[in-house]
Amino acid sequence: MKSPFQQFAAAPFLTALVLTCGTRDPVTAPPGGGVGSGGVVPQLGHVVIVVEENTDYSSVIGSASMPYLNSLAGAYALATNYHANTHPSIGNYFMLTVGKIVSNDNSYSGVVTDDNIVRRLIAGHKAWKSYAEDLPSVGYIGGDVGQYARKHNVIALLSDVVNDPAQQKNVVPFTQFAVDLAHNTLPDYAFVVPNRCNDAHDCPVGTADAWLKTNIDPLVRSPQFQRDGLLVIVFDEADTDSTNGGGHVPCVIVSPKAKKGYQSATQYQHQSVLRLTGEALGLATLPNEAATAPDMGEFFGP
């Protein structure tokens, strides 16, 4: 039986779309092929994480409403057995940045002193930014404003940011992303937070896909990314599923160093993406559960 993605890719529309990206026939990894598979995460210059919202894997992979994301999944690499950690959203964002759930209270506004990705980036002398759509101003660490949701930008709750005015300046409106891309000044690590419509939280998945095509495709096509970039597009949690805590969600790995058309059936969760981002940037220490999470080296190689 064909997978949902393979069934969708068979349609002439997506076949043409994916072929323009230079995809090959999907290479499916055997179950358990991640840890100990011999794959090694390469050292990369730019890591970008884009987090989408509240959608089941089956509503994305193979969906005619998300042709752009499916084209990336076909041309690069797809984790077919990836699960979020919890419900609701905020605990998953903490797992992606802190390596632990911290809180399942979407109204949480405390200052998090746990080890975290920002602390590790600073220690490793790596530049970083959180690009949040509809953020009212540079350095804003306050609560929700309009379509901006702080629970989707938990970097603004980390003590390493809250207590350091210099680091606060790395929390910027998403409009800065295109500027930095155009001037070849993207930081080593970028955490991208679309607003509550464009991340599929309040609007259809087709809206999120169009946003990705408009705002993220220029990154993927840029010479600097095609030289040493890594883009991970992942959904924070499933909508109707709670398997393994947060349900089955898509995770797409995009990089010139990624195996083309690769699909892995190894089970991963958000702490593995946190580990991946740290390893790709050569960080010596990884925060909390990221230190022992299954590695994602299998996605890289010839």
- Over residues 39-51, the mean pLDDT reads 96
Q: State yes or no: pLDDT of 26 exceeds 60.
A: no
Grade residue 59 by pLDDT with cuts at 50, 70 and 90: very high
Torsions phi, psi for 289 (to 5 deg): -65, -15
Q: State yes or no: pLDDT of 254 exceeds 70.
A: yes
Note the pLDDT of residue 302.
73
Q: State yes or no: pLDDT of 224 exceeds 70.
A: yes
Note the pLDDT of residue 28.
37
Structure tokens at 33: 């092929």
Note the pLDDT of residue 12.
35
Query: CATH number for the 4-299 domain, one of 2.60.40.2480, 3.40.720.10, 3.30.457.10, 3.40.50.300?
Result: 3.40.720.10
Q: State yes or no: pLDDT of 194 exceeds 90.
A: yes
Q: State yes or no: pLDDT of 236 exceeds 90.
A: yes
- Over residues 91-116, the mean pLDDT reads 98
CB atoms near residue 138 (< 10 Å): 12
284 CB-contact burial (10 Å; exposed 0-12 / middle 13-18 / buried 19+): exposed
User: How large a percentage of the chain has pLDDT more than 70?
Assistant: 87
- Over residues 247-261, the mean pLDDT reads 98
- Over residues 187-212, the mean pLDDT reads 98
- Over residues 151-159, the mean pLDDT reads 98
Which stretch of DSSP H or E encloses residue 50? strand 46-52
Note the pLDDT of residue 20.
33
Q: State yes or no: pLDDT of 60 exceeds 90.
A: yes
Stronger pLDDT, 14 or 272, i.e. the higher one: 272
Structure tokens at 250: 């898509």
Stronger pLDDT, 7 or 137, i.e. the higher one: 137
- Over residues 264-280, the mean pLDDT reads 98
Q: State yes or no: pLDDT of 8 exceeds 90.
A: no
- Over residues 56-60, the mean pLDDT reads 98
Q: Are strands 128-132 and 27-28 parallel, antiparallel or unpaired?
A: unpaired
Grade residue 38 by pLDDT with cuts at 50, 70 and 90: low
For residue 248, the 8-state DSSP code is: B
Grade residue 24 by pLDDT with cuts at 50, 70 and 90: very low
- Over residues 92-108, the mean pLDDT reads 98
Q: State yes or no: pLDDT of 177 exceeds 70.
A: yes
Q: Which of 247, 276, 264, 272 is nearest to 60 (CA)?
A: 247
Q: Which of 176, 190, 235, 182 is nearest to 46 (CA)?
A: 190
Structure tokens at 260: 């083309």
Q: State yes or no: pLDDT of 216 exceeds 60.
A: yes
Q: State yes or no: pLDDT of 225 exceeds 80.
A: yes
Q: Which of 103, 104, 99 is nearest to 116 (CA)?
A: 99
Stronger pLDDT, 127 or 23, i.e. the higher one: 127
CA 66 to chain centre: 16
Any bridge partners for residue 264, and if so which?
A: 79
Q: State yes or no: pLDDT of 33 exceeds 80.
A: no
150 CB-contact burial (10 Å; exposed 0-12 / middle 13-18 / buried 19+): buried
Q: Which of 116, 111, 113, 120 is nearest to 157 (CA)?
A: 111
Note the pLDDT of residue 39.
86
Distance CA 147, CA 194 (A): 9
Note the pLDDT of residue 1.
41
Grade residue 133 by pLDDT with cuts at 50, 70 and 90: very high
